[in-house]
């Protein structure tokens, strides 16, 4: 076996004779690593080391290339190609989250690998544009993700069936169901929900917030979703409570005004072109002086322009039509619709912990998922997705924020 070779910028990179140009380019880029430590086992079983000395960094990871295709794929289409080659089994790692952290931490140095060649990503960008969230497109996009089946999500979510960031209130050892309930209670509290209020939930999921709003806050709730699977589950869950759940687009809600509005991680599915319509709907449906609590994943302001000019693995494989706002653009869109941002609460570290627990449970339930009719390829897609998101929150390129919005009171006449 060839011994490990440590590489660094300015030093020639010795590679097997059969290494293609793409491999030489990608491994050359890895010589620029400034954060963390990466050991790569090549297809001929020789080893190369990049970045800090092994064990000297908190980010220490390794990657095994089973063939050269991951290098070609990454150069061609960035993170999408890299993910696709993982899904195909062309490379492996003992810790997918740590590997993705190293890639994200070295984003600038690895730009060609992270983003890929514009021509290689052209078809993906066109596909993303075709997934726009018109009324018809929204229903199709939501169906593609949320109608995979309630049994699928129940296999790895916790008993509360919350598919959004939990809030651990400073105790990351707290049971996940408790942390999920704390997140929901905070959203209702920030929206100012009290007994007798009419509450609207845009994107009601499996009914966790509607149930708490009715049962514990004494409110009457209207909730909308475009997922038939979620709707059936949520209706059964809230039977007997003052809850009206509908299969309806948020743009078609007409029974205003509501005393309060909650929307948990719905904005990400709206699509950038439709952010104005979303916030205008919140403004139209909320009573003057009323509050809305909108929880959303956000991408770092500094990454936003590059992000919206391309497309990524999650948009292609997980959330068609989706787009993360950045904090700057969220505030701008809300304020343009006449909504005042009165509170912001970020808890990205809690989302990383939530994702860690989901990922571990998903892997533990892999056999159950396969028994439901899903295949190994599907399983690897979701494993990559959960690890990819966890790493992004750990590296703070994404965050999750509960924004409290207030509709400005109507000024007195005269």
Active site residues: 389
3-state secondary structure the chain: CCCCEECCCCCCCCCCCCCCHHHHHHHHHHCCCCCCEEEEECCCCCEEEEECCCCCCCCEEEEEECCCHHHHHHHHHHHHHHHHHHHCCCEECCCHHHHHHHHHHCCCCCHHHHHCCHHHHHHHHHHHHHCCCCHHHHHHHHHHHHCCCHHHHHCCCCCCCCCCCCCCCCCCCCCHHHHHHHHHHHHHHHCCCCCCCEEEEECCCCCHHHHHHHHCCCCEEEEEECCHHHHHHHHHHCCCCCEEEEECCHHHCCCCCEEEEEEECCHHHCCHHHHHHHHHHHHHHEEEEEEEEEEEEEECHHHHHHHHCCCCHHHHHCCCCCCCCCHHHHHHHHHHCCEEEEEEEECHHHHHHHHHHHHHHHHHCHHHHHHCCCCHHHHHHHHHHHHHHHHHHHCCCEEEEEEEEEECCCCCCC
């Amino acid at each position: 076996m060839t011994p490990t070779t440590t590489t660094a910028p300015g030093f020639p990179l010795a590679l097997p004779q059969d290494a293609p140009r793409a491999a030489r380019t990608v491994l050359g880029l890895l010589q620029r690593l400034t954060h963390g430590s990466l050991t790569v086992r090549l297809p001929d079983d020789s080893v190369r080391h990049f970045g800090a000395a092994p064990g000297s960094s908190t980010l220490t990871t390794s990657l095994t290339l089973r063939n050269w295709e991951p290098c070609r794929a990454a150069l061609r289409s960035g993170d999408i190609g890299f993910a696709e080659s993982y899904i195909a089994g062309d490379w492996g790692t003992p810790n997918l989250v740590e590997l993705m952290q190293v890639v994200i931490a070295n984003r600038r140095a690895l730009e060609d690998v992270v983003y890929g060649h514009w021509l290689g990503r052209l078809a993906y960008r066109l596909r993303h544009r075709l997934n726009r969230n018109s009324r018809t497109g929204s229903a199709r996009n939501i169906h593609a993700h949320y109608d995979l089946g309630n049994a699928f999500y129940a296999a790895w979510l916790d008993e509360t069936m919350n598919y959004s960031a939990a809030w651990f209130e400073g105790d990351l050892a707290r049971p996940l169901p408790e942390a999920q309930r704390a997140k929901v209670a905070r959203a209702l509290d920030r929206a100012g929900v009290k007994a007798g209020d009419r509450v609207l939930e845009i994107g009601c999921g499996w009914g966790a917030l509607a149930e708490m709003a009715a049962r514990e806050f004494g409110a009457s709730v209207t909730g909308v979703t475009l997922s038939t699977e979620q709707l059936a589950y949520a209706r059964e869950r809230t039977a007997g409570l003052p809850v009206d759940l509908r299969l309806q687009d948020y743009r078609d809600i007409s029974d205003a005004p509501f005393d309060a509005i909650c929307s948990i991680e719905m904005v990400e599915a709206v699509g950038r072109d439709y952010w104005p319509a979303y916030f205008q709907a919140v403004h139209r449906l909320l009573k003057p002086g009323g509050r809305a609590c909108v929880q959303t994943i956000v991408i770092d302001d500094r990454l936003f322009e590059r992000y919206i000019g391309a497309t990524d693995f999650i948009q292609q494989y997980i959330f068609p039509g989706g787009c993360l706002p950045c904090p700057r653009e969220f505030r701008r869109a809300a304020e343009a619709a006449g909504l005042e941002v009165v509170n912001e609460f970020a808890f990205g570290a809690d989302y990383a912990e939530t994702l860690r627990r989901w990922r571990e449970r998903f892997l533990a339930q892999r056999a159950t998922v396969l028994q439901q009719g899903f295949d190994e390829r599907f399983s690897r897609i979701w494993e990559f997705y959960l690890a990819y998101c966890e790493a992004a929150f750990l590296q703070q390129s994404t965050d999750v924020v509960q924004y409290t919005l207030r509709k400005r009171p109507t000024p007195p006449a005269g």
